[in-house]
Amino acid sequence: MKYTDYSLSDHTKIKLYKQLLLPRLIEEKMLILLRQGKITKWFSGIGQEAISVGVTAALHPDEYLLPMHRNLGVFTTRGIPLSRLFSQWQGKANGFTKGRDRSFHFGSQEHKIIGMISHLGPQLGVADGIALANLLKKNKQVTAVFTGEGATSEGDFHEALNVASVWNLPVLFCIENNGYGLSTPTNEQFNCKDLADKGIGYGMESHCIDGNNILEVYTRVNALCSDLRENPRPVLLEFKTFRMRGHEEASGTKYVPQELLDTWEAKDPITNYEAFLLASNTLTADAIALLKAKMQQEIEDELQISYQEEDLPLVPEKELADVYAPFTYIEEAPNLTTENIRLVDAISQSLKQAMEKHGNLVLMGQDIADYGGVFKITEGFVAQFGKERVRNTPICESAIISAAMGLSINGMKAVVEMQFADFVSSGFNPIVNYLAKTHYRWAEKADVVIRMPCGAGVGAGPFHSQTNEAWFTKTPGLKVVYPAFPFDAKGLLATAINDPNPVLFFEHKALYRSLYQEVPTAYYTLPLGKAALLTKGTAITIVAYGAAVHWALEVLEERPEIHADLIDLRTLQPLDTETIYHSVKKTGKLIILQEDSLFGSLASEIAALVMEECFEFLDAPVQRVASLDTPIPFSKILEHNYLPKDRFLKALLALLAY
């Protein structure tokens, strides 16, 4: 392997050697501990250290890095205490995830490192969001994100590159092309000469770099970073390297030809760099031996610290408490001046007033800028807030939701508009696996609201009419809000934006322009997790939300002899069970009306909760009324049959007569 001097000082060259050596020595120790059963799993980066170390050394300490499980050199070069890393790998409290996740599945804001999740793709979009925040802050910072050659086949890779290119984001997309995705060789994964060629389609600068040459990695990345800080743009880097051990240790390397292993072993980044330093008289053999002995002793000392740490105590209450980031609701009371406006206007007002209140709030979505969104909720926003904060996005829900997470990580707030709630399926993974789990895993908030125009009644068919809240009420870590009135929508959206947790905010399309209400003109908040009691009665409890609230109101207006407690849930997660239980204990009967289909729905969960908590107070079985368990049809006749509106009165009267 040929090393060029690159005009680096001996001090820099020795520093790079130390940074390169430490992760190798740690790995060698970890492989011993793995065989001894003292750690449970290990993803080896042996042979790839020059990439992690070189990239990290080129970035400033306050610039974000998003590594993966073969990037130990990122963590050590950033100076994370080894005892904390060792505790993390043993599932102890001094680690970063309190035993809730393993390996490098964690982040550290102190060290500006954002760790991976096993679903690799969202990492790239998160880097976009972090870089966007840097661009908006005008702080001239670069973000580097790592991925393997296998993940370049994922849709998230292409979405993230496209967004970064369209928005000119200062991101280094670092591909570690190490030959195999588990056992699948690169020639079975892609059909181009170099992965760097994939940047061409996105109008993106790209380079191939010898990933085993620490001086080349550091020098070229350092030069790129210096340029990107002044001239923001994304760059795709393909680092040519090889994975000398299995995908993880249990996998082995039997599928790799021995000749190939021998070829790459001769290119070992540490052995060759040592030879260069010795040949150039930068270090002596004795100095290298002394350095290795000192590092090995440090590793042993830090291991002893982690060994002496007691096993993680089980505190069940803490497990539940850590699912959500702490949020103290601050009431801002409605003003007395009101105007009669529609649901769509109330949401628009709330967004606009939140944008005025929070200078770090960014709106993202398809066609939301000059066009104002397909429902015109953000019409006129660009004139007031500018296109930097009201951003049209490409059609790539996964990357944009991931970018919203990146904005949150870098101190911003984000509201993402799904053009239709149905389309959120294209961004499902980052919601349920990244946003929802991040605080529980390593105490990082996800300050993101996703607006969800939803619902039937407009003849839009199976892909524009779903009310899909049950996809998310099931997932711990998400909050779900579903207002039925303009007053509630305005106040609840304001609170959702204030809340540092991820919120799915459902807005029924059929109510957008059909429903008016007197709504306070100024900014105000309403608490999440508090239902509204719309009517009072002693005969029966009706629980509903969204458009179903209005169907129930119509029935009660037409049949005034029915004396019912009608509860509008408003928030589905957290759920106001106290209000439901109190009413059921009074009336003895419960009927739940929803627009969603029946099986596995929120109605099913409420019915089960009431059976468990209020059984002795019930005078009849709990009744659920919901849409058919079919996709939503397009024809008005079929759609009307699908919805439960006409079936509700019959079920209500039967339950009253029970």
Active site residues: 464
DSSP at 167 = T
Q: Which two tokens stand for residue 33?
A: 């501990």
Q: Identify which of 292, 290, 288 has the alpha carbon closest to the alpha carbon of residue 275.
A: 288
> Any residues with CB less than 8 A from the CB of 451 and at least 6 apart, and which?
347, 365, 415, 416, 417, 418, 505, 507
What is the CA 25 to chain-centroid distance, rounded? 33
Distance (Å, whole) CA 58 – CA 463: 47
Bridge-based pairing state of the strands 571-573 and 479-481 = antiparallel
Diameter of the chain measured on Cα atoms: 98
> In sequence order, which ranges of 395-442 are alpha helices (DSSP H)?
397-409, 428-429, 438-442
Q: Identify which of 204, 198, 199 has the alpha carbon closest to the alpha carbon of residue 232.
A: 204
What secondary structure does DSSP assign to 580-611, as a single string?
HHHHHHHHS-EEEEEEEESTTSHHHHHHHHHH
What is the CA 313 to chain-centroid distance, rounded? 28
To the nearest 10°, the Cα dihedral for 100, 106, 111, 112? -140
Q: Identify which of 499, 508, 498, 452 has the alpha carbon closest to the alpha carbon of residue 477.
A: 499
DSSP at 310 = P
103: left (phi over 0), alpha (psi -120 to 50) or beta: left
Please check whether residue 519 is in contact with residue 488, taking contact to mean a CB–CB distance below 8 angstroms. Answer: no
Q: Is omega for the bond preceding 574 within 30 degrees of 0, making it cis?
A: yes
Please check whether residue 349 is in contact with residue 490, taking contact to mean a CB–CB distance below 8 angstroms. Answer: yes
Bridge-based pairing state of the strands 235-240 and 338-342 = unpaired
């439901």: which residue's tokens? 580
């195999």: which residue's tokens? 180
DSSP at 435 = I
Q: How many CA atoms lie within 13 A of 161 on its CB side?
A: 27
Host H or E run for residue 344: helix 343-357
Bridge-based pairing state of the strands 540-544 and 390-392 = unpaired
């408490």: which residue's tokens? 321
Q: Identify which of 543, 552, 489 has the alpha carbon closest to the alpha carbon of residue 516.
A: 489
Please check whether residue 295 is in contact with residue 25, taking contact to mean a CB–CB distance below 8 angstroms. Answer: yes
Q: Which two tokens stand for residue 644?
A: 């439960």
Q: Which two tokens stand for residue 414?
A: 């984000």
Please check whether residue 333 is in contact with residue 377, taking contact to mean a CB–CB distance below 8 angstroms. Answer: no
Host H or E run for residue 237: strand 235-240
Distance (Å, whole) CA 355 – CA 494: 10
Distance (Å, whole) CA 231 – CA 361: 25
